[in-house]
Amino acid sequence: MVQQQEKDLQQANQYFSSAAQESIVLSYAAEWLLDNYFLVQQSIRQIREDLPAGYYRQLPADPQQPNYPRIYGLAVSLIADSNARLNLDDAAKRLQSVQADGAPLTMGEVWAFPTMLRIGILEKLAETLRQLIPASSTPDANVTITPAVDDSLVGNCITSLRAIAIHDWKTFFENVSRVEQLLRTDPTAVYPAMDFDTRNRYRTVIEKLARRIKQPEIEIARQSIDLSRAHITAGQPPPRTAHVGYYLIDAGYAELEARFEYHPPLPITLWRWLRARPTATYVGSITLLTILFVVVSLLIAARAQHSLPSILGIGLLSLLPFSAVAVTIVNWLITHAVEPHLLPRMDFQHGVPDPYTTMVVIPTLLSDASGVDSLLQQLELHYLRNTDPNLYFALLTDYEDAPSQHLPTDAALIERAQAGIIALNAKYPRDIPPFYLFHRDRRWNPAQEAWMGWERKRGKLVEFNRLLRADNAAADTAFIVKLGVLGVLCQIRYVITLDADSILPEDSARLLIAALAHPLNHAYYDPQQGKVTAGYGILQPRVEIKPTSANQSLFTRIFSGDVGLDLYTHAVSDVYQDLFGEGIYVGKGIYDVTAFEAAVSHKIPENTLLSHDLFEGLHARVGLVTDIALFEEYPVRYVGHMRRLHRWVRGDWQLLPWLLGRVRATPTETIVPTHLSLLDRWKMLDNLRRSLVMPALLALFICAWLGMIGSPLLWTLIGLASLTAPVFVTVFVGLSAQSQSSTLDDLVQSLRADARRWLLAVTFLPYEALLTLHAIVITLWRMFITRKHLLEWTTAARTARQLASNTGALGSWSEMLAAPILVVIVT
């Protein structure tokens, strides 16, 4: 149908264009078409985009014309009654009237209505223009194009196409859909206050379920509302189970299906059985795949007639590298088999409501005057990108570590910071000033043998939370400077914490708040387990590399886009969110102050944890908000990147006591069991596993080169192949995407980038292996022997300054000297 319309309209356009070139006087109808043919083409493209064949076949048939959808008949009738001059408000009333008199329209029909109007208008336009064109398809100056009676009809068609193109069809849909009207009776009144995407997600679930169980959509919506109402208790705040979304996108979905006595077919039953056991499915798949690879390597060794000790050595040394391959494969399979787990969100487009007042904080150090100015500028940029009366912005600062409590430069730094905050509040005046400064003095730390801020970043947030949840005058904190209107602190419900180099894009703060404010995301703290067990205490946006940072050096251009070959720095948080419904916290995001404090307070002994983000995420439960991104800097130099890796490895191994199951509780110092799930322990263990992959590969190579495990070439190639898994995934993804938006050039570019990273990963393998081993050994020594210097830390800014002061490549080479020395010894 559309193909014939397109052909007729194209012929008409060509005819009238030729006539115009021959200076033939055209009717107004012809001029309408020539002036607006682009709109006709646009409408045809939109029809093809919005109405794929599968969607068209799902639309209910018209009883009078079974070959056409019912909604098409309604559209054609409306066009005929209005002489093709559509009033879309009247169209909405017509559809509402039709539903009042008979069966409700399906949601697919309502969404298809603008497409059917386009088809009907184009058919009317083509039919009219066919009457305007003489029998001869070639314009003749002796032939006059006269039927002016059709001018208004052509004009009406063009005007209607334009109206269809600019109309707000989302609002139209929600005004017409009976399912939408029923969902808006949600007893918690949450549904109508959500954003459009979340409401549409709820409706899509109903649409899919209706097709699966062959029940009317309106009946599924009605049963959802009935289930919600059953959990309302007068005089009490509604629980999660009283919100209609609990039965559509949360744990109550099975209860909704049971209302219809639906028994899914065997493939769906098996899939759900696996999804109900995500930890066993995920960890089991990785384990089985790793064992498979190891068994193959053992068979190769046995066939080569290696000795038993040699075969066992091969099995042990190949275990960790093959685990990396298994993780890569399983993660890829999950991201393609499991739908993205998107979090519901409220609609705060008109501003953050008073109950969700939030403060954006940057926990950091005051190092020098330029650093202070940079922090103030960063705070100002966060404000300008996220201006809202219920958003506040603060620096949480310490001095750098020092041999004494006070240094001569301290006073100037804090005065500069205070003056900057005062200037910002003067520059952007509000009834309640938006900018704040909270600064702590140094305390003597015998474990670090230095004067420093108590517990570094974690301590700043702990004391700031204490300030938010206490009488400001009586709060026991180390803050010696509290600049701002402190009365607002008791109103703060959420905190967005960022690093000093983080970029919070425009409106991102409001979107994060809107997500955490949704009742299905509200944290439920279980005092028995001592952790959040439902909802989220933390929401973390996607973290991306700042585009300008990615081009600062050859190293950043090669490595900043890598998400596969870097075995350590890129946590697979999307896999965890999609499969388990919770992500991995990396220290940047929004948290609910009350839930966060309940979950992590008094659980970490002093001077024990440098990297506390994972621990906090395990207890407060973190959700990944994949449609919001933060941007951060990437280390400019390879050595800076490796120093950061060294710190991360130390932080992960400091979690070993929690992995083993018993830790010292604070403030009693008694040994207590940890209440961590199998998934929580896997997350910690996986970090330790990743830190051991490079040392295991190096050991495999050394043993092969020394002839301890048979053929050096064979086992070197097998070891190198374990690093190539991400490249194979790139090839597979690229080839499978050829029929979609990806091109061969995209695949070649990805392969070229992966090859460069692979080559450098192999080149730097000895150094990275030695560095991670050093981090592991020194951490274990400090944890179990000296119990000192566990909080050793250098800021990224200070590391960058130190590396910039080095004498070019010589400084980096000297820091990496251990690797070539090892190679010389081995050879």
pLDDT digits 0-9 by tens, 390-411: 999 999 999 999 999 999 999 9
* Alpha-carbon gap, residue 302 to 277, rounded angstroms: 36
Q: Dmax of the chain from CA atoms?
A: 106
pLDDT of residue 573: 46
* Alpha-carbon gap, residue 64 to 60, rounded angstroms: 12
Residue listed under structure tokens 């998934």: 679
Residues of the chain above pLDDT 90, percent: 65
Nearest by Cα to 328 from 738, 747, 724, 769: 724
Kindly report, residue by residue over 415-442, the tens digit of the pLDDT.
Answer: 999 999 999 999 999 999 999 999 999 9
> Which of 214-223, 388-397, 540-549, 800-809 is least confident?
800-809
Residue listed under structure tokens 């999609």: 578
Nearest by Cα to 264 from 339, 212, 337: 212
453 against 574, higher pLDDT: 453
> Which of 139-148, 192-201, 477-486 is least confident?
139-148
Tokens of 99: 């539903």
Sheet strands (E) in 356-502: 358-366, 391-399, 435-440, 443-445, 450-452, 479-483, 494-497
The residues facing 538 across adjacent strands are: 591, 622
Asked if residues 124 and 5 have their Cβ atoms less than 8 Å apart, the reply is no
pLDDT of residue 819: 78
Q: Is the dihedral of CA 409, 412, 414, 417 positive or negative?
A: negative
pLDDT of residue 563: 43
Averaged pLDDT, 491-512: 97
* Alpha-carbon gap, residue 286 to 683, rounded angstroms: 13
Averaged pLDDT, 197-208: 97
Residue listed under structure tokens 């929401």: 539
Residues of the chain above pLDDT 70, percent: 90
* Alpha-carbon gap, residue 99 to 234, rounded angstroms: 34
Averaged pLDDT, 450-454: 96
Asked if residues 458 and 585 have their Cβ atoms less than 8 Å apart, the reply is no
* Alpha-carbon gap, residue 618 to 663, rounded angstroms: 15
Single-letter residue type at 815: E
Q: Is the pTM of this model over 0.75?
A: yes
* Alpha-carbon gap, residue 673 to 257, rounded angstroms: 39
Q: Which secondary-structure segment (H or E) carries 4?
A: helix 2-21
Number of H helices, E strands in the chain: 33, 14
Residue 250 has pLDDT above 80, yes or no: yes
Nearest by Cα to 648 from 789, 792, 800, 782: 792
pLDDT of residue 352: 98
* Alpha-carbon gap, residue 739 to 55, rounded angstroms: 20
Q: Phi and psi for 152 in degrees, rounded to 5? A: -65, -35
Identity of the highest mean pLDDT range in 228-237, 301-310, 586-595: 586-595
